[in-house]
Every structure is written in structure tokens, then in C-alpha cells.
Structure 1
Amino acid sequence: MFSVLMRYLLLCLILLPGGARAETYSEQDLFSLSGFATLGAVYNSTDQGDFLRDLSQREGVGYTRRLDFGVDSLLGLQLDARINPALSASAQLISHRRYDNRFTPELNWAFIKYEPSETLQLRTGRLGFDVYMQADSRSVGYSYLPVRPPVDYYGGLPITYLDGGDLVLKYPIGEGIARAKFAIGYAKEKLPVQNSEGHLDLNGSLLWGGYFDYQLQNWQFRVGYARLKLENELADLDLLLNVLRSPQLQAISNGPAQFADDAMIKGKTVEFISAGMIYDSGPLQVQLMLRRLLATTISYPNNDAGYLMLAYRLGAFTPYASYSKVRPKVLKHDMGLPDIPPFAEVNAIARLVQPYPLMDQSTYSLGLRYDVMRNLDLKFQVNRIDGRDSLQWANKQPAWDGRATIYSLTLDFVF
């Protein structure tokens, strides 16, 4: 109901009659249509697993196909309307590979913005989720340096928007500008579950958080926090948990029932904590990002991640190198049952519910960005990955040793 109302309000604002507009704005000033796109090709050195851009994808490149054109390719359109100096509206539509392997266009933004002064901004509607630095623009390939945002860091953040509202305060401190943001709303996206035909529906899951950002000349710093309360259970997981809660097992031990309570997803929370720094001066650019993810369900691992990226511009060419890593912070849980018949089958269910360690991957990357002309770039990147126990891969085969080399070529443009 909320999202329907926001779309209605947005439409009303965009279609306001000319008499309601400020006289200083012409028709050309009122509306602006822009877009962005990425055409990408990715080759995987191994066919023993599918490399994924992020957890919103079910299939990638490697096992399904060695050469793939859909991992990074996308198309986006954005319509902005300036009603008056303080009031505006924006809508953004993006087509990219989704949880169902389709490229069905999705409304990522649809909000109204009220900016009564230079220090205050209020928005309501469908908003980008940017608890991590640069997360709000990760679909616009031209806006960032590498082929894709480092997968070990951003890949575990499949949430791109929320339906709700946010508030931003901006104020000069010393020689820099400080920004504080608070946002609250509901997630709505669907995430695929690997090795299953099902998906996790985030619809109705409460999401809130914010960040503090400080920009000083060539430096930018940000710390952020967000909390997601999961509203829905996985259908496949629910069946397994009901087995663990069966009266027959409870008569033997309360371990399986307690394990089921710890492993359930509905009602559990996920916290995102992040800190980042960017230095951009002359030809040199440095990025350092750190984050921690904390979950109250053992079905998804607590994990820490970070990356360091260095780049140096040489005219139209910008070579860059980066190292990224994600590491699990999970303690192995068991039900206290001996691994002998008939308990071996129950323990096997526990291992299925909680594969270990779930999130353990490191990546070395080398790349080159060539700015062909204004608003058009060409990028080539090589990733050397060690990630046998990572959720960032799908369709993993028994013979895979966790190592792969990913070759990527993309053409990014904005219009």
C-alpha cells in the first residue's frame, strides 16, 4: 500500500499543470531524462562453479557457460522532475539479471525530494540503500573505477533499495562538509537460494540505518550502520526445521529443537556496519573499505570484509590494482547427537542447514580503464580468486578447488 501511494504521489507531482510551477522554470528545465548502460563479457577459467556479481543472481559464468554476457550487463533509465527550487521527484528503472535469471525491468528509485535549505533534505518513496560508501551508485558502471564493485565487499549486500523515507543534514565543519543521514523503510527484493529453486522474499522486512560522512578537500570518510529484521521464512528451510522439531527427536534430546530455533530466518536480524575512506587527488586515487555483517541466525554467517584499491591516471588511461577479502565469523553449531545411525541422518540435515564456513574468499585484481570519450569508457580486468567456501559462487562442483581466474571486458556509458 505504501509503495502504491508513493508512486501515485510521484505521478501527481510529475504531471502538475504548468500554472502550479515556478515561473522561473521552463518545460525544458522541469523534466530531464537520462540513462546508463553496461555491456559486459566475462570469461571464467574453470567450469567447476559459477562466478556471481552478487547474491541477487542465481546463475553466473563458469559452470553454466564459460563465456557470459549477462553477469555485468544492464540498462537503466532515470526521469527527474524539478517542480520548484525546493521540490523535485525522481524515478529510475533498471534491467539486469535477477534472482529468476530474467532481465525484467525493476523500479529502483521512485521518490519525492524536499530540500528547503542547503542544510536539510527529506525524501520519501523508493530510495537507494547506501549504508556502504558508493553503494547507491553501484549499478552505474561509468561512475566507479573497476569493472564491478569488489565482489568480496559489495557482493554480500544484495539489497539495493527500500520503501520508506530518509533525512540528510549537511553542515560545514572546519574546512570540510559533514553529512548525517537516517533512513527507515521496508525491503522488498527477492534473493535466490543456491542449490534450490526457492528464494528468500524480503518483502515486509523492516530496514533502518544511516551514516555520518565527512568530505575535506581530496578526502572522504564515512561510517555507516543498518539493521534488517527478516519478515519471511524460507519454504525449503521451514521443512527441514519442522523435522528437527518433531516430537520423536525432542523425546531424545532438546538439541535439535534448539538448533532449529537458532537456524530459523523469520524474525531474525542482520546488522551492517561499515567504514570507508577515499583519497582522490591529481592522478592518484586510493580506496579503503571495511565492513562487518552480524546475523542472529546461524543459517547465514557473520563475516568481515574489506578491500584496498590503488589507481593512477595517465591521461585517458587509469590502471588499478586491488585486494579484497571476506572472512566468516561463525562458530560451528551442532545438536549434541552422536554421528551414528539413526542420528547421522539428523546431523546431515544440520550440515545442510548450516554449511560451513559459507563466506571465505579472497581476490587479487588488476585492471585498466580507458576513457574513450566523455561519458564512455572501456574496462578490462583480471581477477584471481580463491573462494571454495564462498556464497559468491553457485553450482559448485565436487572437483572444484576454489581457485579461478575471471577475465572481464565492459563498455560503460551514460546518456
Structure 2
Amino acid sequence: MFRYLIRYPLMLLLMLLPGLGRAEEYAEQDLFSLSGFATLGAVYNSTDQADFLRDLSQREGAGYTRQLDFGLDSLLGLQLDAKINAEVSASAQLLSHRRYDNSYTPELNWGFVKYTPNDSVQARIGRLGFDVYMQADSRSVGYSYLPVRPPVDYYGGLPISYLDGVDVVLKHPIGEGIARLELAMGYAREKLPVQGSDHSLDLSGSPLWGGYLDYQLQNWQFRVGYARLNLENELPDLDLLLNVLRSPQLQSFPGPAQFADDAMIKGKMVEFISAGMIYDNGPLQIQLMLRRLLATTISYPDNDAGYLMLAYRVGPFTPYVSYSIVKPKVIKHDVGLPDIPAFSQVNGLSRLIQPYPLNDQSTYSLGVRYDVMRNLDLKFQVDRVDGRDSFQWANKQPSWDGRATIYSLTLDFIF
């Protein structure tokens, strides 16, 4: 019953409408409002030996597939808001962007009913933005943030953008600032491409819960967050390898069965821990973000990431610089089979599913945002990336030296 309600929030809204209050309390033009946002982007990769990705939800990017790419950052979103009465409202947001299957099929990014009995309490049910880390629930709205895209080293490894569930936000003044506590629980629904194959990992039905503690004081904002994802589904085609490793014929060797248990995805846990700070005072803006991702499967590496961004506005121009880094922590697991022709295929597949050769990736970025007019900006950014074996690239070729320069131009607007 709970899954049904959170999956169909707009149906729930229609069921509740008769008892939500008298619509005549509001002018007709205030009951519904339609808004939207869009980004038109172009990305050029200096190398054709690997695909640069915006995040892990994309299968292809700029570089190997095409050096000049117009779909990496481009997207379109439409949002419908309904104000039922002073306490109840609803929102639905459709988003079209490059997905795991290279399509731009619109998907429901938000779809919830919100109850706000007073200024201190807010509760929502439906499809909600996954916002345990700063700026996460608005990272599709290019106009709302400073750079061309949220730093890939930090946000790119966090592909979950929404959950189907409930959340509660409590606000309370502390000193001269405002503290906010959010608690959320529900289920993930997205699909992630499996690089090197045509398959995808389906997160549907995977329980997801977490929250954040946020404090805003004048020009400062601080946030710490935590979330936990329990993976419900196995990687496509991985069951075949796991069954081979657990077969009676290999049990005379000490490692295969344990390797299968370590490599499986289904039933494993992923934790997200984050901390961030933003200082925004007049022309000066500083952002510092740190996060840790921990996984109980060797098929996805633990990693730490962070970035520092400095910006200074001069009239309509805001130049900025940033440095970001991701450091996977990968321990090589030996499947325990002899390296002989009889086991070559099993050993080869076992090496593919554990990313033990991964190295650090770091990026220096330099860019400028030009606010052309109200609700319209133009951005140009240059990224110098160093990450030969980073898991945040696709279609990597053996001859690639791990370095690339990414040139990006975007036009963002809201309406």
C-alpha cells in the first residue's frame, strides 16, 4: 500500500481534493502555475580516446563517441505547481535529458503532495528530490548554479536524483540563524548503464533512506548529510559468473566462492556521507564540499571526493575557478584460480567486475558566467582533467594517457 501511494502522488492528490479545503479561497489564476527551465549545451573533448560523462547515469559522452557533443548538458524541464489551500500544495516536474539508454524520453523527476501546517514543519509524499547533499535537488536547473555543470568529480559518482517516498523537514531558529532537519525514506527507481555492455543496473525497489542537518546564518550555509541505499537487484548477466564461481567443481580452490559473495550486487549496501559549506556575500562566493561513498560490494569502489570553488561577480560577469578530486579506495581481490588456459575466461571476467586498477581523478576548472538578462545566462568553462582509469569515463581506449581538456558552452534559462 505504501509503495502504491508514493508511486502515484498525483492520483492521491485527486482523491484528496474534495476534502482539502475550499478552492474559492484562492483566485483561479493562483491555483495552478506552470514554469520551466532549459539548458542548451555544447561540449568539445580534446581527446577522442574516451567519453567524458556528466554523471554515471549516462552511457555515452563527448570524446570517443563524438568529440563535439550537444547532448551531454542539454535538457528541458517543465513543472506544474498546484496550491490547494494554505496548507496543501502539489508539484510535478518532467525532465528530458540524456539517459542510461541514450534516449531523451521525459521522466517524472518530481511528483509530490506537500503539507505545511506552519512555518516550522513540512511533509511531502511522492517522488522527491534526493537532496542529502547541497544543491543536489536543483542540479538539473543550470540557471540556479554557477558553473556549467556541478563538478563531475563530486556529483558525477552520485547518480541518484530522486526517490519515491516521504520526507519531513523541521525548521527552528538557533541564535541568529535557522536550523533545518530533514528525514526521508523511500525507494530508488532509476537505471544506471553498465559500461562495456548494453545492459543497465535497475535500482527499482531498492530501499533508500537518510537526511541532513542544515544551518544558515546570514551569508553562511552549512550542511551535513547521510543516506543509505540497499541494492535490490543484481547486475545483468552477473548471476552466470557467480554461479560458476560457486559451482562444486571450483570448491577445491579457496577463493572463488568468497569472491562471488564479495562481488554480488543484490543485497549489498551503499552509504553516502557528505558535508558542505557555502559563503555568499555580495560579489564573493566560496563553496567547499566533501563526501564519502562506502559500498559493501567490490564491484563498485569506495571513494572520497571534494571540491573548492571561488567566484567573484563584476557587473553581469562572474568568473570562477575550482579544483575537484575523487579518490577511489580499491583493494584488489584475487579470485584464487590458477592463471592457466582452463580458467582464463573466468579469471578475465572476474577482473572486469572489480575495478582494482582505478586511480585518482582531479580537475582544474576555469569559467565565467554572463547574466545576459533576467532568467537567462551564458557560461563558458574549460576543464583540465587527469584521470586515466577513472570510473567516471566511458569507452576508454588502451592508448589514452588519462588527460583531457574539456571546453563547454551553455545557455541556461528559466521561464
Alignment partner, residue 257 of structure 1: 257
Q: Matches of residues 319-398 of structure 1 in structure 2 within 5 Å?
A: 319-358=319-358, 360-398=360-398
Tell me the CA shift for residue 18 of structure 1: 12
Q: Matches of residues 151-190 of structure 1 in structure 2 within 5 Å?
A: 151-190=152-191
Once residues 15 and 318 of structure 2 are traced to their aligned partners in structure 1, the CA distance between those partners, rounded to angstroms, is 44
Specify the SS of the correspondent of 1:136: coil
CA 1:266–1:18: 2 relative to 1, 3 Å: closer
Tell me the CA shift for residue 345 of structure 1: 3.9
Q: Matches of residues 246-285 of structure 1 in structure 2 within 5 Å?
A: 246-250=247-251, 252-285=252-285
Specify the SS of the correspondent of 1:346: helix
Specify the SS of the correspondent of 2:149: coil
Tell me the CA shift for residue 4 of structure 1: 4.5
Tell me the CA shift for residue 247 of structure 1: 1.5
Specify the SS of the correspondent of 2:379: strand
Output one character per residue of 1:90-136: Cα deviation in whole Å (capped at 9) or x when no partner.
Answer: 00000000001000000011100000011100000000001111000
Q: Which runs of 5+ in 2 are unaligned?
A: none
Indicate conservation of the 8 Å contact 2:331/2:356, yes or no.
no
Indicate conservation of the 8 Å contact 2:294/2:302, yes or no.
yes
Is 1:300 the equivalent of 2:300?
yes
CA 1:19–1:319: 2 relative to 1, 3 Å: closer
Tell me the CA shift for residue 3 of structure 1: 4.2
Output one character per residue of 1:160-216: Cα deviation in whole Å (capped at 9) or x when no partner.
Answer: 110110000000000000000000000001110000100000000000000000000
Identity of aligned residues (%): 81
Q: Matches of residues 68-147 of structure 1 in structure 2 within 5 Å?
A: 68-147=69-148
Aligned-residue RMSD, C-alpha? 1.5
Alignment partner, residue 287 of structure 1: 287
Is 1:60 the equivalent of 2:61?
yes
Indicate conservation of the 8 Å contact 1:111/1:127, yes or no.
yes
Identify which range, 1-10 or 54-63, moves more after superposition.
1-10
Is 1:232 the equivalent of 2:233?
yes
TM-score by length of 1: 0.96
Specify the SS of the correspondent of 1:272: strand
Is 1:7 the equivalent of 2:17?
no
TM-score by length of 2: 0.96
Indicate conservation of the 8 Å contact 2:7/2:127, yes or no.
no
Query: Across the two proteins, how many residue pairs are aligned to each other?
Result: 412
Amino acid at match of 1:351: R
CA 1:19–1:124: 2 relative to 1, 3 Å: closer
Q: Which runs of 5+ in 1 are unaligned?
A: none
Once residues 213 and 219 of structure 2 are traced to their aligned partners in structure 1, the CA distance between those partners, rounded to angstroms, is 17
Q: Which runs of 4+ in 1 moved over 6 A?
A: none
Indicate conservation of the 8 Å contact 2:148/2:380, yes or no.
yes
CA 1:12–1:316: 2 relative to 1, 3 Å: farther
Indicate conservation of the 8 Å contact 1:10/1:110, yes or no.
no
Identify which range, 218-227 or 339-348, moves more after superposition.
339-348
CA 1:125–1:219: 2 relative to 1, 3 Å: same
Output one character per residue of 1:6-59: Cα deviation in whole Å (capped at 9) or x when no partner.
Answer: 23113446xx47994354410111111100000000000000011000000001
Once residues 54 and 89 of structure 1 are traced to their aligned partners in structure 2, the CA distance between those partners, rounded to angstroms, is 29
Indicate conservation of the 8 Å contact 2:220/2:280, yes or no.
yes
Once residues 19 and 300 of structure 1 are traced to their aligned partners in structure 2, the CA distance between those partners, rounded to angstroms, is 46
Indicate conservation of the 8 Å contact 2:360/2:390, yes or no.
yes
